[in-house]
Structure 1
């Protein structure tokens, strides 16, 4: 009886700590989590954020393309193993690209920015989140994956020489009264694809790290983000496209490059955008453009300037914590490798000398649960069969300017109800680029303020 009472009091105490906004003294913090709350449902939940952003226009609803909120209905849903396999392809592609441009690593010869733009891209199929936009006059809806690591926005176009299956009708330029080809002699053409031209018309081509590709004409047309209408927006009109694109129409490129959506709409949206990735695939997030009242409420870290190191947003990670205790990791472990924030990478990748202390500390607080073998990517996994509530330590990620993120439980564990793993992985190369992935970004309002050179975070946004 006394033991049962003691256990109950301990559970109440841990639950209290999990809802505290700060640690009490030096006592460790924990989350007491209902595993079913971490699991996606079979039906889409109502959006949490719409009332909050009622006055913010445009606000695009963002959903996981594999979940019940998605309008896409592929013949076969990707398993977690397939998603993580695609994720590894994307990470390999990012590492290869950065090594090639910077001259680091084993890749032969640095490539010019124009070569990278025209010939290389991330693993497209790892992109998980989709939004809906309108293209042409009259406007036709297109479902696009949004990607902070891509230069070029593109959609499949008629007449298709080679196209994959997509949910909506393929965009037909002949049905739009505002469609035009981009001239081969324009600066935009040089920025997107070097000297690739057909007559006076500009061509583009992107080869992704997983073997997927898209190519066609570089064009301009009206882009509609209800209620906003953007005239003469430049994008790729893909007539040769192949890969695991999952029935989307194309991609919305949000990188810090001259031809990205962010740069093209800088006059209208001041090169500012924000998003919230939903906690599970059965709930919704958002993608906003422009400044709004919530942007000023974020904790900010600088965007690190990198010269020609690819289409990425570099930030400086400085530390990690588990159960409110800072781990003994030298800041040079992070600075030597460098870090980007990426919407398309699923699992956060860390230098090995940062991942090992994280893994060890997390395991120390999970000894009451049965460990099970993971896979080549995830190596700290637990069998929760028959368990409804689990107690897990908080995990914190620190960035420059004393920005500290206390991750949502959905940003700590990944997997099924019965088996979940620590959602981090270590790079094999100590100098391999660190990547702050989308699982760890879940539920944060993430603000990209390009003019100020800052990225901001505020919790519990969706």
Structure 2
């Protein structure tokens, strides 16, 4: 074996140094290339937060019944009260209250607040433990003859619609004057013997009138008379629902803000979606705006945009009022996160308009967080925000590059989230991954409204499928 000279060794070291240097350059170049293109979001930091001015821009909806949807705490909302909005931590804490309520309902009667009621599931409209929590989005509806307009929360996790009514024993302060049944020529109380009354979980009879009670998961509550009246959803007579069944609340307390009531879009017969099915078709769609300073829509009927991708709507006998679908995978920056499909199938997934942050099984969330954080190493970490534990500080940066996240559903539907569905931005110094863990793999997953923003979300009840159409609103 020939001896190795010092000069040869020196030349070898130099060559090795050059090779290593070239490798580093190639690695940096590859990293720069990977952080741009379709698998990344590149956004200006100044655009992260919503503006203080309402910029209503929404796509034309499928029919004249389309209602404008706004975030109740944003500048487009008539309910906005300067200085009275909850903090981000309060919003997320309330969100957890709603999630806890959904988990109790879907876990079975042994863990529900009211075992006797929970044993019947949630197919009946008036019951204890219905989710409420943050109740983010509101619409304006007309009620009575002549009609009066009311600002109400809409919620896919509730069935019974209600407004506060005169005379009221104990009502919270709301935006508009209370609904006065005596001033409507088409109002009538639902009698105790009516089928709608007999279906109530917690209904009772008082002076021949049917009484209802709904206690929500955050302990907000509404009690009153079950009633019928004309509901107006658009500018013409063709947009009226005669004999619409709703709750006329006269004893209401809780975290409703200044909304005049709540309209349910669940799957029970008493929900707005079910009562409107004969007129508009079995289903509805909505588009939640990209920020609280923009506007979306809620439309009855199941008409879908041409670009909608569909997945099967799953029915569960224990909690049939909720809308279920099968989430089967997640992609980060175009690569599938390594999670066994059985992890998602174990408890299933409910889609909910009122939950803010999507909840995932523990193993699925850990894998998502690991993949996401691995591609965000260039950014300084920020403290956790309530339930959100993967946060970043963008202070001093003009632009940020964020890996894309896509949700994969049974049947091949792929929902590529916009930037607003990836990060929850409290401020420039605290932007957090907009997902959270259930804390275990046995509690049901929840597709929250952060991940639904700007999509036309179609609930095609007639054909038992749920669709997502990109760019449904801005």
Normalising by the residue count of structure 2, what TM-score does the alignment of the two structures yield? 0.89
Counterpart of 2:389 in structure 1 is 379
CA distance in 2, matches of 1:123, 1:13: 41
CA deviation string 1:403-459 (max 9, x = no partner): 111101000000223310000000113100100000000110000000100000011
CA distance in 2, matches of 1:106, 1:154: 22
Q: Does 1:65 align with 2:76?
A: no
Counterpart of 1:85 in 2: which secondary structure?
helix
Counterpart of 1:23 in structure 2 is none
The answer to whether the 8 A contact 2:331-2:406 is kept is: yes
CA distance in 1, matches of 2:220, 2:130: 9
CA distance in 2, matches of 1:42, 1:176: 38
Q: Does 1:275 align with 2:286?
A: yes
Q: 1:249 to 1:390 in 2, by over 3 A?
A: same
The answer to whether the 8 A contact 1:47-1:284 is kept is: yes
Give the alignment of 1:376-415 within 5 angstroms: 376-415=386-425
Give the alignment of 1:17-96 within 5 angstroms: 17-18=37-38, 29-49=39-59, 52-53=60-61, 56-74=63-81, 76-96=84-104
Counterpart of 2:339 in structure 1 is 329
Q: Does 1:231 align with 2:242?
A: yes
Q: 1:272 to 1:92 in 2, by over 3 A?
A: same
Counterpart of 1:192 in 2: which secondary structure?
coil
Q: 1:431 to 1:10 in 2, by over 3 A?
A: closer
CA distance in 2, matches of 1:254, 1:72: 21
Q: How many residues align?
A: 443
CA distance in 2, matches of 1:10, 1:172: 64
Give the alignment of 1:60-459 within 5 angstroms: 60-74=67-81, 76-101=84-109, 111-113=119-121, 117-227=125-235, 228-292=239-303, 294-415=304-425, 416-459=427-470
Counterpart of 2:257 in 1: which secondary structure?
coil
CA distance in 2, matches of 1:254, 1:105: 22
Normalising by the residue count of structure 1, what TM-score does the alignment of the two structures yield? 0.91
Q: 1:270 to 1:10 in 2, by over 3 A?
A: same
Deviates more, 1:304-313 or 1:175-184: 304-313
CA distance in 1, matches of 2:370, 2:452: 22
The offset of 1:193, in angstroms, is 3.8
Q: Does 1:460 align with 2:471?
A: yes
CA distance in 2, matches of 1:423, 1:369: 17
Larger Rg: 2
The answer to whether the 8 A contact 1:324-1:394 is kept is: yes
Unaligned stretches of 5+ residues in structure 1: 19-28
Counterpart of 1:22 in structure 2 is none
CA distance in 2, matches of 1:428, 1:13: 32
The answer to whether the 8 A contact 1:181-1:218 is kept is: yes
CA distance in 2, matches of 1:105, 1:174: 38
Unaligned stretches of 5+ residues in structure 2: 1-23
The offset of 1:192, in angstroms, is 2.9
How well do the aligned residues superpose, as a CA RMSD in angstroms? Answer: 2.3
CA deviation string 1:153-203 (max 9, x = no partner): 000001010000111111111110000011111111122345511132111
Counterpart of 2:13 in structure 1 is none
CA distance in 1, matches of 2:311, 2:179: 39
The offset of 1:388, in angstroms, is 2.2
